[in-house]
Amino acid sequence: MKTKIVIVDDNANNLLLEKDLLIVAGFEVHTAVNANDAIQLIKEVKPQVIVLDVQLPDISGAELARILRSSIDTVSTPIVFVTASVLQSDIDHLLSIPDSAYISKPINTRTFSKQVSQCIK
């Protein structure tokens, strides 16, 4: 069975790019464009890893991550943040969430899927 991934990003192009890269790498990929849809989707799909854009239209990626951590189904599902922020304080804030990692934007297309799969337990 393929490893399931949910990607959450409101930017259609970035979503498509990440999705393609992960599909090519052999993952089963599901996508959402806002936090609200993402919560629903993650409940249904039960992914092994979640890839989160940090700036979402409804709530921030970090807030979404905290909501996910408070639910029994996703309390320890690895979360990979994809962020354009380069401020150490922002990044420290993200990494304070347990089982999280970050990939900075722009992503390296040649290593992206490898970076994501490294997070799967």
Partner 1 sequence: MNKISTPKELPEYSESIVNTVREPLIIMDQHLRVITASRSFYDFFRAEPKDTIGKLIYNLGNNQWDIPKLRELLETILPQKTSFDDYKVEHDFTTIGWRTMLLNARQVERSQSNDRIILLSIEDITERNAIQEGLVKANKELEILTKDLVKAAQVKSEFLANMSHELRTPLNSINGFSEVLYDETFGTLNEKQKQYVKNVLVSGNHLLLLINEILDMAKVEAGKMTLTVTELPIKEILYEISGLIKDAANKKNLKMVIDISTYLKNIQADSLKIKQILYNLLSNAIKFTPDGGEIGIKATQTDTETHIVIWDTGIGIALENIEKIFEGFFRIETPYSRVTEGTGLGLPIAKKLVELHRGKLKVESEGNEKGTSVHIILPIKHITTVIRDENKNSHS
Structure letter (DSSP) for residue 25: T
Locus of tokens 């992914």: 47
Cβ closest to partner 1, residue 13 vs residue 70: 13
CB 9, min distance to partner 1, A: 10
Question: Is 75 an interacting residue with respect to partner 1 (CB under 8 A)?
Answer: no
Q: Does 120 bind partner 1 (CB under 8 A)?
A: no
At position 67, the amino acid (one-letter code) is I
Nearer to partner 1, 67 or 107 (CB): 107
Q: Which contacts of 63-66 are long-range, i.e. CB under 8 A and separated by 24 or more positions? A: 63/35, 64/8, 64/35, 64/38, 64/39, 65/94, 65/97, 65/100, 66/97
Which chain residues interact with partner 1 by CB under 8 A?
Answer: 11, 13-14, 17, 20-21, 24, 80, 84-89, 91, 95, 101-110, 115, 118-119
